[in-house]
Structure 1
Amino acid sequence: MKPIHPHPRRSEEPIWWSLFGAGGSWFAMITPITVLLVGVLVPLRLLSPEYLAFERVYGFATGWIGALFILGSIILPLWHAMHRLHHGTHDLRLNLGVMGKVLCYGFAALVSLLAVILVLGL
């Protein structure tokens, strides 16, 4: 049996796993409600279309709660998907090493930054 190393190397994996978990939770709990409201109830006229009038939606989107909601809806599922894609390449035995990590997480970081810039620019 190997002895436990007294000074283990630190890993950045907890950061990626926390973003993965947050994105998965958001996608599982918040996205279905959003799709139900916007994609089902309003088109079927079970919810008044006035709730999604431009002025109301724009007012929500330009407030800090709306901006956080929009950013959460874009950024968290994106990080979840990129983490899943990164680990999926391992399952497929596509040993991309650090390049795979840089591609997946770099793409997620770039799109997250663009989302923040665009949403805060509303």
Structure 2
Amino acid sequence: MNKHKPQHELQHKQAFDEPLWWGLFSAGGVCFAVLLPAVILFIAVLLPLGLLPANALNYERASALLFSVPGFLFVGAVICLPLFHAAHRLRHGLFDISVGSDALNKKLMYGGAALLSVFALGLVIAGMLS
């Protein structure tokens, strides 16, 4: 035990970054619950069933939509925020079952979500520039 700090300081360590992770978790959960079902409905159900016009999502139109500022925001909302939601759930799940150290799990989970987010958004930016 550390003799320089009182006992109560050793038991409680303030996590200054936790509100950031909870905010991303919340935003990702909302996007996951609201936007993703709508995307699945349109792309995986209505379009194949022919309930949308045939050219509603042809290559040219889909490419123009995706590789634009609204497409960038769409990818951020439908891919990136849910990645942070999942990372937060995984981190706290690992903490609950006492797997690994929380500091390492935090870096792995949020770092992975950040890398995948940069990759996804980078693809959109690359498409915008070409």
Same fold judged by TM-score > 0.5? yes
Q: Is the 8 A contact 1:82 1:104 kept in 2?
A: yes
Equivalent residue for 2:61? 56
Cα RMSD after superposing both structures:
1.6
Kindly state the Cα deviation for residue 97 of structure 1 after the two structures are TM-superposed.
2.2
Kindly state the Cα deviation for residue 35 of structure 1 after the two structures are TM-superposed.
0.3
Which residue among 99, 104, 112 is the counterpart of 1:107? 112
Equivalent residue for 2:86? 81
Deviates more, 1:73-82 or 1:91-100: 91-100
Kindly state the Cα deviation for residue 114 of structure 1 after the two structures are TM-superposed.
1.3
Q: What count of residue pairs does the alignment treat as equivalent?
A: 116
Q: Is the 8 A contact 2:90 2:109 kept in 1?
A: yes
**Tell me, which stretches of 5 or more residues in structure 1 are unaligned?**
none
Distance in 1 between residues matched to 2:14 and 2:47, nearest whole Å: 53
**Tell me, which stretches of 5 or more residues in structure 2 are unaligned?**
1-8
Letter in structure 2 aligned against 1:66: G
Percent identity between the two aligned chains: 41
Equivalent residue for 2:125? 120
Is structure 2 residue 38 aligned with structure 1 residue 33? yes
Letter in structure 1 aligned against 2:104: M
Q: Is the 8 A contact 1:79 1:105 kept in 2?
A: yes
Which entry has the higher C-alpha Rg, 1 or 2? 2
Instruction: Write out the 4+ residue segments of structure 1 that deviate beyond 6 Å after TM superposition.
Output: none
Is structure 2 residue 74 aligned with structure 1 residue 43? no
Distance in 2 between residues matched to 1:100 and 1:18, nearest whole Å: 18
TM-score by length of 1: 0.88
Distance in 1 between residues matched to 2:47 and 2:66, nearest whole Å: 18
TM-score by length of 2: 0.83
Q: Is the 8 A contact 1:71 1:119 kept in 2?
A: no
Equivalent residue for 2:98? 93
Distance in 2 between residues matched to 1:23 and 1:84, nearest whole Å: 11
